[in-house]
Amino acid sequence: MTPLNPFTGAMLQLKKAATVAQLNPQVLAALQQPQRVLEADLAITLDNGSKKTFKAFRVQYNDSRGPFKGGIRYYPKVDLDEVKALAFWMTMKTGVVGIPMGGGKGGIVVNVKELTAAEIERLSRAWVGAFAKHLGPQTDVPAPDVYTTPQIMGWMVDEYARLTGSWQPAVFTGKPLAVGGSLGRTEATGFGGAMIFEELAKKMKLKKGATVAVQGFGNVGYYFAEKLHDLGYKIIAVSDSKGGILDIRGKGMDPRNILKTKQAKGMIDGCYCIGTVCDCENYKQITNDELLELDVDVLVPAALENVITEENVGAIKAKAIVEMANGPLTPEADEKLWTRNVVVVPDILANAGGVTVSYFEWAQNLSGLYWTKEEVFKKLHEIMTRSFDDVWAAAKKHKVDLRTGAYIVALQRIEEAMKARGLVK
């Protein structure tokens, strides 16, 4: 089956929630396309002296609640419909957590693995050059996404300062600490997801010791698993792109040990089961497909989109799924899980800890006052738990799944802002 165009899929989700929420038709009409789409061809000189051109985008989806906010993706398969869908989801994400920002997203069609650091720097500076007049701390605040890093944000904030003659750290987030990055940003998405997990556990009456399988052991999957382990839940399976491991004792693994072995040996499968940390009697190698089908209390896809589809949804045994990756379920799989009473915590809530701490970074840059890690996590906890309660209440009130509940929360906030500004009647 041909996968649904991501923007078409996003608009179907929007219309479903808008109907349930009885959204003002003018708001619905406004949210069916971005406010502005910027495109550019970025020509840079490669290290060998030749010229190469890269297609670049910035989609400014909606700024009714505050400046456009969203990352820049460097990826060979980036296209305008994907960037539009991601920019729409950012609008929903900032709405769900109630931070005073809108939604946007950017991208460059590029395989960064084929470029040197100097070439990536020139390309990143060229992106800022192309779009600078539409960016700004109160206009549009980009951030990192797939294959964009704090270093890239460092180059971008410098280029913006060079072009405008003014040092404005709040124009980009996800920066290195030395140029105004926030403490806690690295852990924010994983830890924020763990805060959501704790709220879900209360509702589902899951006890400490409940079993969890995590797909993906990168920034998000690692910090999520680390926090859950510390809270007393059992991480019984983890995986990366090469495969996974299952703790057949059922006792739970310490992600710190797994990370140590992964860093020493380079991968999770095979290598983790060497030496004193574990042995092959207690740990079994599994594939990523097997991980998804484990009989665990909670399954946490934290790597890629579209991993649970019509094909494998029938084999899913978990009671709940927490979407730490963006878009890990296809709409068909989502529908089937709802009919089977499997609770799905949607990405726009579960992984919103990242954009929330990005907002904290922006706020710290604007005030010039910097917070401790403890302050960052305390404020993050307040926002994540309040957002979970808002989404849960909306879903119960309208008798819908949590994804539709999350959309309803976001759409109502956008409608209120548009009315308050006189943009709709």
Residue 218 interacts with ligand NAD (CB under 6 A)? yes
**Residue 266: is it exposed, middle or buried by C-beta count within 10 angstroms (0-12/13-18/19+)?**
exposed
Residue 94 interacts with ligand NAD (CB under 6 A)? no
Number of other CB atoms surrounding residue 247 within 10 Å: 19
Residue 325 interacts with ligand NAD (CB under 6 A)? yes
- Using the minimum distance from each CB to ligand NAD, give the nearer residue, 159 or 347: 347
Contacts of 181 (CB under 8 A, 6+ apart): 150, 153, 173, 174, 175, 361
Residue 354 interacts with ligand NAD (CB under 6 A)? yes
Separation of alpha carbons 159 and 57, rounded Å: 18
Separation of alpha carbons 114 and 43, rounded Å: 16
Residue 189 interacts with ligand NAD (CB under 6 A)? yes
Residue 72 interacts with ligand NAD (CB under 6 A)? no
- Looking up tokens 């009885």 gives 22
Residue 288 interacts with ligand NAD (CB under 6 A)? yes
Nearest alpha carbon to residue 298 among 193, 399, 220, 388 = 193
> Binding ligand NAD by CB under 6 A: which of 164, 219, 285, 385?
219
- Looking up tokens 């072995």 gives 261
Residue 108 in tokens: 């460059």
Ranges within 223-242 binding ligand NAD (CB under 6 A):
239-241
Q: Minimal distance in Å, beta carbon 153 to ligand NAD?
A: 13
Residue 303 interacts with ligand NAD (CB under 6 A)? yes
Ranges within 246-265 binding ligand NAD (CB under 6 A):
none
Q: Which stretch binds ligand NAD (CB under 6 A): 55-63, 106-114, 155-163, 302-310?
A: 302-310
Residue 302 interacts with ligand NAD (CB under 6 A)? yes
105 is catalytic: yes
Q: Which stretch binds ligand NAD (CB under 6 A): 201-209, 245-253, 318-326, 388-396?
A: 318-326
Q: Minimal distance in Å, beta carbon 289 to ligand NAD?
A: 9
Q: What are phi and psi of 47, to 5 degrees?
A: -60, -30
Separation of alpha carbons 200 and 177, rounded Å: 33
Catalytic residue among 69, 84, 93, 105: 105
Q: Which residue is nearest to ligand NAD (CB)?
A: 218
> Binding ligand NAD by CB under 6 A: which of 351, 364, 365, 412?
351
- Using the minimum distance from each CB to ligand NAD, give the nearer residue, 198 or 305: 305
Q: Minimal distance in Å, beta carbon 269 to ligand NAD?
A: 11
Q: Which stretch binds ligand NAD (CB under 6 A): 159-167, 206-214, 319-327, 413-421?
A: 319-327
Q: Minimal distance in Å, beta carbon 189 to ligand NAD?
A: 4
Instruction: Confirm if 96 and 17 have CB atoms less than 8 A apart.
Output: no
Q: Minimal distance in Å, beta carbon 144 to ligand NAD?
A: 8
Q: Minimal distance in Å, beta carbon 267 to ligand NAD?
A: 9
Number of other CB atoms surrounding residue 124 within 10 Å: 25
Q: Which stretch binds ligand NAD (CB under 6 A): 62-70, 94-102, 298-306, 389-397?
A: 298-306
Residue 326 interacts with ligand NAD (CB under 6 A)? yes
Instruction: Read off the amino acid at residue 323.
Output: E
Residues that contact ligand NAD, how many (by CB under 6 A): 20
Q: Minimal distance in Å, beta carbon 423 to ligand NAD?
A: 28
* 31-37 own/partner pairs: CB under 8 Å, 24+ apart: 31/62, 31/88, 31/91, 31/411, 31/414, 34/59, 34/60, 34/61, 34/62, 34/84, 34/87, 34/88, 35/60, 35/61, 35/62, 35/63, 36/60, 36/134, 37/80, 37/84
Chain residues in the site for ligand NAD (CB under 6 A):
189, 215-221, 239-241, 288, 302-304, 324-326, 351, 354
Active site amino acids: 105
